[in-house]
Chains A and B, each alone.
Chain A
Amino acid sequence: MSSYVAIADRDHEIEHHDPQTFIRKYVWSQDHKVIAIQYGITAIFVGLIALGLSLMMRLQLGFPNEFEFINPESYYQFITMHGMIMVIYLLTALFLGGFGNYLIPLMCGARDMVFPYMNMLSYWAYLLSVIILLASFFVPGGATGAGWTLYPPQAILPGTPGVEWGILLMLVSLAVFIVAFTMGGLNYVTTVLQARCRGMTLMRMPLSVWGIFIATILGLLAFPALLVSAIMMLFDMNLGTSFFMPAISSMGVDPGFVGGSPILFQHLFWFFGHPEVYIVALPAFGIVSDLLSVHARKNIFGYRMMVWALIAIGGLSFVVWAHHMYVSGMHPYFGFFFATTTLIIAVPTAIKVYNWVLTLWEGNIHLRVPMLFAIGFIFTFIHGGLTGLFLGNVTIDMPLSDTYFVVAHFHMVMGVSPILVVFGAIYHWFPKITGKMYNETLGKWHFWMTFLGTYAIYLPMHYLGFQGVPRRYFAMGNTDFLPESAQALNAAITISALFVAATQILFFVNMIWSMKSGKKADPNPWDATTLEWLTPDTPPKHGNWGPDLPVVHRWAYDYSVPGYEDDFIPQTVPPEQAPAGRDHGVVD
């Protein structure tokens, strides 16, 4: 922390900064690009575990009692670990630790993050949190089965799987993750604010950076609530305090708690939990804006509006949390307040959606793999956003809460949509990261099977929810109101899920094969304007820019500007050499 003259500010003397040994270069690396890849690979690895867990849940739901190794206890463990891993350890880590690390310095024209050493520590702490989390599968009693929301009292009382060790490891792992995120997040925010290259005003930054930037701020302000609730729950568990625990009889025994408030936990959790959904959504919003603009050869529609919408959504996301608690018991006026704020958030969100669609309007659309994923995102996101409007209204939410309708809502909006963007982004930047081209045909197959397959999974879930199929049930039990066909639908969903999971092999084959024997990539294969495509080397070397930092003269979206020979003008082209596009860095 002591000296702030890090390499991001040095124009020259790069050479002796290049670490030589393998270990320094790829393991204890302080290079933001290597750290990004470390984050990315670790996140995808745990994501695959979470995918496996979801398949086991689907097997039980589709074909109840066919599989001996799935019992109610393990089912709850699968549910919990699946949710937590996907939300925190995969998506948060991948978007901010992965894409944030890779893109922020490159797109802002910096040599690295402002504090590379802390950035490295961030990755290692993240890895530690992952190891602690995964260890909970192997301790006596196994992982916790409290549900990803970890609601007390049940989370720490006997009867819930993993009360012995699982919940302890979960809480500790979350605390370590928060430390890791904070070290990284401080770097991302400071780099964006203070270390951009000359000419790169905030209003010239690509929307990818904006999305990641705002999401990181949300993280820095929302994770504290999770940290505090984790600490308080650890106290309740280990010291017998009663923050969250009311006087209660657990399996006929009095565990000795008195006077705590379980609702307090819910408030703290969702004060973190709702911003968290936008921590995942905002980077996806930003990245998808760039993908659409590049592959439609058009400037993003309403850049300024897009930036302000990101900021507005970020701000509003802190005042809607209790829409997750309509059924927990709340004063009706509070319900009214939170329903109103929730519906207001739909306004900036809708603005973004309109602008994406208008960006495509009359564009010169190249349906390459990243573009397919970006357009797929618009579909799934509109879909999930609309169901959010249903759930945001108290009276409509009452019957739908804790049914499969909610599961469908958040998987469309927070599962499928960001994952489509993740894939799109990986295909889009793959040529820069590896220097090789991926296989277009395989990529297209991967897109169509994933896109249609996920619809086959989640569309029927809305219908199941309307019928009243409850969420988080191991088996339906005494639910006579459900028709036989609900089970048939469940079986169909399971088959689609297995299919979608299997098609992901195409992605990994494509990545690994292309990395080894793909065609050598052009430094700027998509004719994009942003700085990361203008590095002297592909993949960029340590320090990114060679001897001189880039100088920016225009915004990131000068595509198809009339009167210029190419259909794109890189951000570094000065106004003398090309017509000024619609530059929003200039006050107009």
Chain B
Amino acid sequence: MSEAVLDTTVEPSGASGVSHDFSRDKQAFGVPWGKAMMWIFLLSDTFIFSCFLVAYMSVRLAATDAWPVPSEVFALSFGGEPIPLILIAIMTFILITSSGTMAMAVNMGYRKEKNKTFWLMFATAMLGVSFVSMQAFEWTKLIQEGVRPWENPFGAAQFGASFFMITGFHGMHVTVGVIYLLVIAFRVKRGYYERRGNNYEIVEITGLYWHFVDLVWVFIFAFFYLW
């Protein structure tokens, strides 16, 4: 992108080559500003979720009452025997699928396929909506069974507290992601990026956020439902 204004022609190799690359002029990373900024934001957001999860582990260990058994609490019956973790398995599957459609949207963006990009982003958003709806269903079920942030019939009160707080915070991220996806998707459709040099970089930036939200879910899933 920039000719070397450095007063040197020697390119060092090895470890000092790496540090030399990062400290070259103008840009440390060969990516657009928006993408660099999204990466940094996600790093910061990682710390938020890590704090939440570590706090959750800590209260779980410190709680004085017994911790509820997740496979019983999160079971759902379709007429017959309750099937443990069935809803959550579906939700996880949906979210992972949405990462797939997102990745395809990014690909189509790079191929400048405006309509396909739009539809794939739209599909991703819809999968996100169904995830949030199922989460709402799960919350409703738990609330009907008497689970509250401050108490629950199954054991330690911290169960409900951390469950609602952390899945709620994650659900908010998904909701924001859905809105973000839809805004960008409709801009794609209206040809906004086509007019600006046919540059679909933003689709990838949106994708970064979406994959991140997915990844976080995998951790929440493991810590809440499998532990």
Interface size, B (range)? 35 or more
Name which residue of chain A comes closest to B202, CB basis.
Answer: A2
Cα A267 to Cα B57 in complex, Å, equals 13
Is the CB–CB distance between B25 and A200 below 8 Å? yes
- Whether A239 sits at the interface, judged by CB under 8 Å, is yes
Determine whether the beta carbon of A235 is less than 8 Å from that of B161: yes
Residues of A within 8 A of B169 (CB): 231
Against A, the Cβ 8 Å flags (1 = close, 0 = not) of B1-41 are 01001111010100010001011111111011111110011
A167 within 8 A of B: no
Interface residues on A, range: 35 or more
Interchain CB contact (< 8 A) of A227 among B12, B48, B150, B158: B48
B43 adjacent to chain A (CB < 8 Å): yes
Q: Does A348 contact B (CB under 8 A)?
A: no
A197–B24 Cα distance when bound, in Å, is 11
Q: Is B44's CB under 8 angstroms from A194's CB?
A: no
| With contact pairs A182-B44, A228-B52, A551-B5 given, residues A235 and B29 touching in the complex (Cβ less than 8 Å) | no
Q: How far is the CB of A239 from chain B (nearest CB, A)?
A: 5
> Is A1 an interface residue when CB atoms closer than 8 A count as contact?
yes
A200 surroundings in chain B (CB, below 8 A): 25-26
> Is the C-beta of B63 less than 8 angstroms from some C-beta in chain A?
yes
Quick check: is B83 within 8 A (CB to CB) of the other chain? no
In the complex, how many angstroms separate the beta carbon of A13 from the nearest chain B beta carbon?
A: 16
CA distance A227 to B50 in the complex (A): 12
| Cβ of B58 under 8 Å from chain A | yes
B20 proximity list for chain A (CB < 8 A): 587
The answer on a CB contact under 8 Å between A202 and B149 is no
Tell me the bound Cα distance from A197 to B40 in angstroms: 21
Residues of B within 8 A of A587 (CB): 8, 10, 12, 16, 20
Does B62 sit within 8 A of A, measured CB to CB? yes
Q: Which of B27, B29, B47, B161 contacts A225 (CB 8 A)?
A: B47
A259 and B165 in contact, given A220-B40, A227-B48, A580-B7 (Cβ under 8 angstroms): no
The reply to whether the CB of A198 lies closer than 8 angstroms to some CB of chain B is yes
- A221, A228, A243: the one contacting B44 at CB < 8 Å is A221
When distances are taken between beta carbons in the complex, the residues of chain B under 8 Å from A220 are 40, 43-44, 47
Q: Encode A178-190 as 1/0 by CB contact (under 8 A) with B.
A: 0000100011011
- Say yes or no for B55: interface residue by CB 8 A criterion: yes
Task: Knowing A193-B28, A587-B8 are in contact, say whether A242-B161 is a contact too (CB < 8 A).
Answer: yes
Given that A114-B37, A232-B165 are contacting pairs, would A201 and B48 also be in contact in the complex, using a CB cutoff of 8 Å?
A: no
Contact of A199 with B25 in the complex, beta carbons under 8 Å: yes
Cross-chain contact A259 with B7 (CB below 8 angstroms) = no
**B-side contacts of A267, CB under 8 Å:** 58
| Contact indicator A242/B158 (Cβ below 8 Å) | yes
Q: How far is the CA of A4 from the CA of B65 in the complex (A)?
A: 52
Q: Which residue of B lies closest to A217 (CB)?
A: B40
Asked if B33 and A268 make an inter-chain contact with CB atoms under 8 angstroms apart, the answer reads no
Query: A224: CB under 8 A from chain B?
Result: yes
Which of chain A's residues have a CB closer than 8 A to the CB of B59? Answer: 243, 259-261, 264
B25 touches A552 (CB 8 A): yes
Known: A196-B25, A224-B51. A201 touches B6 (CB 8 A): yes
Chain A residues within 8 Å of B51, by CB: 224-225, 227-229, 268, 271
Distance in angstroms between the alpha carbons of A336 and B201 in the assembled complex = 49
30 pairs of residues in contact across A and B, judged by CB atoms under 8 Å: A1-B205, A2-B202, A114-B37, A115-B33, A182-B41, A186-B41, A194-B26, A196-B27, A201-B6, A201-B25, A221-B47, A225-B51, A228-B51, A228-B55, A231-B169, A232-B165, A235-B161, A241-B160, A242-B157, A243-B162, A258-B65, A261-B59, A261-B62, A267-B58, A268-B51, A552-B5, A583-B7, A585-B7, A587-B12, A587-B20
B residues at A contact (CB < 8 Å) = 2, 5-8, 10, 12, 16, 20, 22-29, 31-37, 40-41, 43-45, 47-48, 50-52, 55, 58-59, 62-65, 149-150, 156-158, 160-162, 165, 169, 184, 187, 192, 196, 201-202, 205
- 19 additional A-B pairs beyond A221-B44, A243-B162, A268-B51, beta carbons within 8 Å, are A2-B192, A4-B33, A115-B37, A197-B25, A202-B23, A204-B25, A221-B43, A223-B44, A228-B51, A231-B165, A243-B59, A258-B64, A259-B63, A260-B59, A260-B158, A267-B58, A552-B25, A586-B8, A587-B16
